[in-house]
Structure 1
Amino acid sequence: MVAEPIFNVDGMANKGGKITDKACLLMRMENKGDYHDEQYELLATNLGGEDIILETDWLHKHNPQIDWVKNNLTFSTCAERCLVS
Protein backbone atom coordinates (compact mmCIF):
# COMPACT_ATOMS: atom_id res chain seq x y z
CA MET A 1 0.00 0.00 0.00
CA VAL A 2 1.27 3.46 -0.90
CA ALA A 3 1.20 5.83 2.08
CA GLU A 4 -1.48 8.48 1.59
CA PRO A 5 -1.42 12.00 3.05
CA ILE A 6 -3.94 12.71 5.80
CA PHE A 7 -5.44 15.96 7.01
CA ASN A 8 -6.62 16.71 10.53
CA VAL A 9 -10.09 17.92 11.44
CA ASP A 10 -8.89 21.53 11.13
CA GLY A 11 -7.69 20.90 7.55
CA MET A 12 -3.98 21.03 8.39
CA ALA A 13 -1.66 18.27 7.20
CA ASN A 14 -1.15 15.61 9.89
CA LYS A 15 2.35 16.05 11.34
CA GLY A 16 2.29 12.47 12.69
CA GLY A 17 2.49 10.87 9.29
CA LYS A 18 0.46 9.49 6.43
CA ILE A 19 -2.14 6.71 6.21
CA THR A 20 -0.14 3.52 6.47
CA ASP A 21 -2.74 0.74 6.72
CA LYS A 22 -6.40 -0.02 6.15
CA ALA A 23 -8.59 -2.46 8.08
CA CYS A 24 -12.21 -3.59 7.77
CA LEU A 25 -14.22 -3.56 10.97
CA LEU A 26 -17.69 -4.92 11.65
CA MET A 27 -19.17 -2.40 14.07
CA ARG A 28 -22.27 -3.15 16.17
CA MET A 29 -24.37 -0.27 17.48
CA GLU A 30 -26.67 -1.23 20.35
CA ASN A 31 -29.32 0.63 22.32
CA LYS A 32 -31.91 -0.89 24.66
CA GLY A 33 -31.90 -4.28 22.97
CA ASP A 34 -31.99 -2.97 19.39
CA TYR A 35 -28.84 -3.18 17.33
CA HIS A 36 -27.46 -3.18 13.84
CA ASP A 37 -24.11 -4.04 12.30
CA GLU A 38 -22.22 -2.00 9.75
CA GLN A 39 -18.92 -2.68 8.05
CA TYR A 40 -16.39 0.16 7.97
CA GLU A 41 -13.00 0.66 6.43
CA LEU A 42 -10.67 2.21 9.00
CA LEU A 43 -7.55 4.10 7.99
CA ALA A 44 -4.50 3.86 10.28
CA THR A 45 -2.21 6.80 10.98
CA ASN A 46 -0.53 8.50 13.92
CA LEU A 47 -3.19 10.70 15.54
CA GLY A 48 -1.03 11.85 18.42
CA GLY A 49 -3.10 11.53 21.59
CA GLU A 50 -6.35 10.53 19.87
CA ASP A 51 -7.54 6.92 19.50
CA ILE A 52 -10.01 7.51 16.68
CA ILE A 53 -11.63 10.31 14.72
CA LEU A 54 -15.21 9.75 13.52
CA GLU A 55 -16.09 11.51 10.30
CA THR A 56 -18.85 14.11 10.21
CA ASP A 57 -20.94 12.09 7.73
CA TRP A 58 -20.91 9.10 10.11
CA LEU A 59 -21.92 11.27 13.08
CA HIS A 60 -24.70 12.88 11.01
CA LYS A 61 -26.08 9.51 9.90
CA HIS A 62 -26.12 7.98 13.39
CA ASN A 63 -26.81 11.20 15.33
CA PRO A 64 -25.59 9.82 18.67
CA GLN A 65 -26.15 11.58 21.96
CA ILE A 66 -22.69 12.51 23.24
CA ASP A 67 -21.95 12.64 26.98
CA TRP A 68 -18.61 14.43 27.18
CA VAL A 69 -18.35 13.93 30.97
CA LYS A 70 -18.77 10.12 30.79
CA ASN A 71 -16.96 9.85 27.43
CA ASN A 72 -19.95 7.95 26.06
CA LEU A 73 -22.03 7.76 22.85
CA THR A 74 -25.69 6.67 22.98
CA PHE A 75 -27.37 5.56 19.75
CA SER A 76 -31.00 6.36 20.57
CA THR A 77 -32.12 6.98 16.97
CA CYS A 78 -30.41 4.08 15.18
CA ALA A 79 -33.53 1.90 15.29
CA GLU A 80 -35.44 4.59 13.36
CA ARG A 81 -32.67 5.83 11.04
CA CYS A 82 -30.11 3.10 10.42
CA LEU A 83 -31.72 -0.33 10.61
CA VAL A 84 -32.00 -1.98 7.22
CA SER A 85 -34.59 -4.69 6.68
Structure 2
Amino acid sequence: MLNEAGSICSVVDLVLCYQDHSERAAFAVTSLGKQDMILGFTWLCEHNPEIDWTKGEVKMSRCPHHCITCAEEAHIEWRAKVCEHAAMCACCARHLPYADLNLLSPPPLAFPYREALHKDV
Protein backbone atom coordinates (compact mmCIF):
# COMPACT_ATOMS: atom_id res chain seq x y z
CA MET A 1 0.00 0.00 0.00
CA LEU A 2 1.38 3.41 -0.93
CA ASN A 3 1.69 6.23 1.56
CA GLU A 4 -1.31 8.31 0.54
CA ALA A 5 -1.07 10.73 3.50
CA GLY A 6 1.97 12.68 2.39
CA SER A 7 5.56 12.75 1.31
CA ILE A 8 8.67 12.59 3.48
CA CYS A 9 9.21 16.06 4.97
CA SER A 10 12.47 15.37 6.87
CA VAL A 11 14.78 12.70 8.23
CA VAL A 12 15.74 12.59 11.91
CA ASP A 13 18.40 10.62 13.79
CA LEU A 14 17.06 9.30 17.09
CA VAL A 15 17.11 6.36 19.46
CA LEU A 16 14.28 3.85 19.13
CA CYS A 17 13.39 2.13 22.41
CA TYR A 18 10.92 -0.76 22.32
CA GLN A 19 10.72 -3.51 24.95
CA ASP A 20 14.37 -4.38 25.73
CA HIS A 21 15.49 -3.19 22.30
CA SER A 22 17.27 0.11 21.76
CA GLU A 23 19.02 1.41 18.67
CA ARG A 24 20.06 4.62 16.96
CA ALA A 25 18.42 4.93 13.56
CA ALA A 26 17.44 7.46 10.91
CA PHE A 27 13.68 7.91 10.60
CA ALA A 28 11.86 9.42 7.63
CA VAL A 29 9.13 11.74 8.94
CA THR A 30 5.77 11.78 7.17
CA SER A 31 2.09 11.57 7.95
CA LEU A 32 1.13 7.91 8.27
CA GLY A 33 -2.52 8.24 9.19
CA LYS A 34 -3.34 5.67 11.87
CA GLN A 35 0.13 4.06 11.79
CA ASP A 36 2.88 5.14 14.21
CA MET A 37 5.72 3.62 12.23
CA ILE A 38 6.42 1.42 9.23
CA LEU A 39 9.21 -1.15 9.55
CA GLY A 40 11.20 -1.63 6.36
CA PHE A 41 12.30 -4.95 4.89
CA THR A 42 16.00 -4.22 5.51
CA TRP A 43 15.33 -3.48 9.19
CA LEU A 44 13.21 -6.64 9.54
CA CYS A 45 15.97 -8.77 7.98
CA GLU A 46 18.66 -7.27 10.23
CA HIS A 47 16.72 -7.69 13.50
CA ASN A 48 14.69 -10.80 12.62
CA PRO A 49 11.96 -10.12 15.22
CA GLU A 50 9.23 -12.58 16.15
CA ILE A 51 6.04 -11.27 14.54
CA ASP A 52 2.54 -12.43 15.42
CA TRP A 53 0.61 -11.18 12.40
CA THR A 54 -2.83 -12.03 13.82
CA LYS A 55 -2.22 -10.06 17.04
CA GLY A 56 -0.09 -7.36 15.40
CA GLU A 57 2.73 -7.91 17.92
CA VAL A 58 6.48 -7.63 17.42
CA LYS A 59 8.88 -9.25 19.91
CA MET A 60 12.56 -8.33 19.86
CA SER A 61 13.81 -11.71 21.07
CA ARG A 62 16.59 -12.16 18.49
CA CYS A 63 18.10 -8.68 18.47
CA PRO A 64 21.77 -8.20 17.49
CA HIS A 65 24.25 -7.27 20.24
CA HIS A 66 24.93 -3.77 18.87
CA CYS A 67 21.32 -2.79 19.54
CA ILE A 68 21.59 -3.72 23.22
CA THR A 69 24.68 -1.58 23.79
CA CYS A 70 23.03 1.40 22.06
CA ALA A 71 20.80 2.07 25.07
CA GLU A 72 23.84 2.62 27.30
CA GLU A 73 25.50 4.88 24.72
CA ALA A 74 22.30 6.89 24.26
CA HIS A 75 22.01 7.43 28.02
CA ILE A 76 25.62 8.66 28.25
CA GLU A 77 25.08 10.99 25.28
CA TRP A 78 21.83 12.30 26.77
CA ARG A 79 23.54 12.94 30.13
CA ALA A 80 26.35 14.89 28.42
CA LYS A 81 23.77 17.06 26.62
CA VAL A 82 21.94 17.75 29.89
CA CYS A 83 25.24 18.77 31.51
CA GLU A 84 26.10 20.96 28.53
CA HIS A 85 22.74 22.73 28.63
CA ALA A 86 22.89 23.30 32.40
CA ALA A 87 26.45 24.59 32.15
CA MET A 88 25.53 27.01 29.37
CA CYS A 89 22.64 28.30 31.47
CA ALA A 90 25.01 28.67 34.43
CA CYS A 91 27.46 30.68 32.33
CA CYS A 92 24.69 33.01 31.22
CA ALA A 93 23.40 33.38 34.79
CA ARG A 94 26.97 33.97 36.11
CA HIS A 95 26.69 31.24 38.77
CA LEU A 96 26.85 27.46 38.99
CA PRO A 97 23.76 25.54 40.02
CA TYR A 98 24.39 23.42 43.10
CA ALA A 99 21.96 20.65 42.16
CA ASP A 100 24.32 18.73 39.87
CA LEU A 101 27.94 18.29 40.93
CA ASN A 102 28.76 16.61 37.62
CA LEU A 103 28.71 20.06 36.04
CA LEU A 104 32.08 20.74 37.64
CA SER A 105 33.72 18.07 35.50
CA PRO A 106 31.87 17.89 32.17
CA PRO A 107 33.00 15.41 29.51
CA PRO A 108 35.89 16.68 27.34
CA LEU A 109 34.74 18.75 24.38
CA ALA A 110 31.16 18.62 25.62
CA PHE A 111 30.66 22.31 24.95
CA PRO A 112 32.78 25.25 23.79
CA TYR A 113 32.53 27.37 26.96
CA ARG A 114 33.57 24.80 29.56
CA GLU A 115 36.54 26.94 30.65
CA ALA A 116 34.04 29.51 31.96
CA LEU A 117 32.88 27.02 34.58
CA HIS A 118 36.28 27.01 36.24
CA LYS A 119 36.80 30.80 36.35
CA ASP A 120 36.05 32.74 39.50
CA VAL A 121 33.15 35.11 38.94
Q: State TM-score, norm by structure 1.
A: 0.60
- State the structure with more CA Rg: 2
Displacement, 1:73?
1.0
State the match for 1:15 in structure 2.
4
Equivalent runs, 1:47-66 vs 2, <5 Å: 47-66=32-51
2:14 is aligned with 1:25: yes
State the match for 1:83 in structure 2.
65
State the match for 2:31 in structure 1.
46
The answer for unaligned runs of 5 or more in structure 1 is: 1-9
The number of equivalent residue pairs is: 66
Q: Distance in 2 between matches of 1:25 and 1:70?
A: 27
More off after superposition, 64-73 vs 37-46: 64-73
Alignment equivalent of 1:74, drawn from 39, 54, 59: 59
Higher fraction of strand: 1
Q: Secondary structure at the match of 1:58?
A: helix
Identity, in percent, stands at: 33
Task: For CA contacts below 8 A with separation 6 or more, give which structure has more relative contact order.
Answer: 1
Q: Secondary structure at the match of 2:58?
A: strand
Counterpart residue type for residue 83 of structure 1: H
More off after superposition, 20-29 vs 41-50: 20-29
Residue-by-residue CA offset, 1:12-64 (whole Å, 9 max, x unaligned): 5x43221112222212352xxxx5x3201111112233221111000011111
RMSD: 2.3
The answer for unaligned runs of 5 or more in structure 2 is: 70-121
